[in-house]
Structure 1
Amino acid sequence: MKVLNLQCAHQHDFEGWFASEGDFHQQLERGLLSCPLCGDAQVRKMLSAPRLNLGRTREEAPVATSASDGMVEMGRTAPGSELQGRLLRAVRELMSKTEDVGERFADEARAMHHGELAQRNIRGRTTPEVAMELIEEGIDVMPLPAMPALKETLQ
C-alpha cells in the first residue's frame, strides 16, 4: 500500500492510499481523484518524507515541504493541514450524531419546534430564504458548507 500526500489546485492537502504508483496515475488519468473538501479534480502529488516511528510525537515529526525556489524544507505539519483535519473530524462527528432528513428539513424543524414531533438532531437541505424564515420563527439553524465529502461516506 502506498500513501501519497496530495493537493488540489486550491491548496487543500489530503492523503490518498493506492495499491501502487501506477494505480495512482491510472486513477488520476481516469478522473477518479478529487479533493474531499472542495471536489476539485486538479490533484497533484506532493513531496513527502518517509514516515519513520523513532519515538517522536506527531507534532515533532518533520514533514517535507516544497519552497518557492524548488528546495525541499523539513518542518512541522502545515497549520492548514491541521485545520482541515479538525474540520473533517467535526463533520464526521456531526454526521454520526444527526439524522439526514434531506429536503424535509424545514418541515421537520418546524414540527419539532411546535411539539408535533419528538426533538432530535437533524440535518438536511433548504434554501437560504427558508433558513432565514426558520431563524425568524425562533428555530435554531446552523448553515454548513456544501462540501463534496458530505455526500459520501467519510473515510
Structure 2
Amino acid sequence: MIRFSLTCDQAHDFDAWFSSGADFDRQAEAGFVSCPHCGSSVVSKRLMAPSVATARSREAHQQLAMDVQRGEVIAKLRDMVKTIKENAEDVGERFPEEARKIHYGEADQRGLIGKASPEEARALIDEGIEIAPLPVLPDDVN
C-alpha cells in the first residue's frame, strides 16, 4: 500500500492509501476518489518526499529485533539456570573439594553448584574435572 498526499480543485489537502500509482490513476479517472472536505472528484497527487529508510531507522528496527531476540535468549538461560539449581546440591565454598571427591570416586555422583575462585576453577579443569560457570543474567545483580 502507498499513501498519497492529495489535493482537490478547491485546495483541500488530504491523504489516501492505494495499492499502486496505477490504482490511484484508475480510481481517479473513474471518479471514485473524492475530497473528504468538499466532495470534489477533481483530485490530483501532491508533490511528496519519498519514504527512505535511513541508517538511523534501520538501526532502530535492528535494535528492536535484537532486543526481542535477546529477551528470548535471556528467558531460556534463566530457565536453564533455574533447572540446574533445582536439581543440584549447593555446596557453597566447598565446591572444589566436593567436585574432586565425586571425580575421584570418593563421593556419590550428583550435581553440584557452588563457588570457586578463578585459580581453583583452573586447577579443577587441569585435573580433568568438568565444570562450567552459571551465567550471571541481567537483573541477577540488582
TM-score using structure 1 length = 0.44
TM-score using structure 2 length = 0.48
Structure with bigger RCO (C-alpha 8 Å, 6+ apart): 1
Larger helix proportion of the pair: 2
Please tell me whether Structure 1 or Structure 2 has the larger radius of gyration of its CA atoms. 2
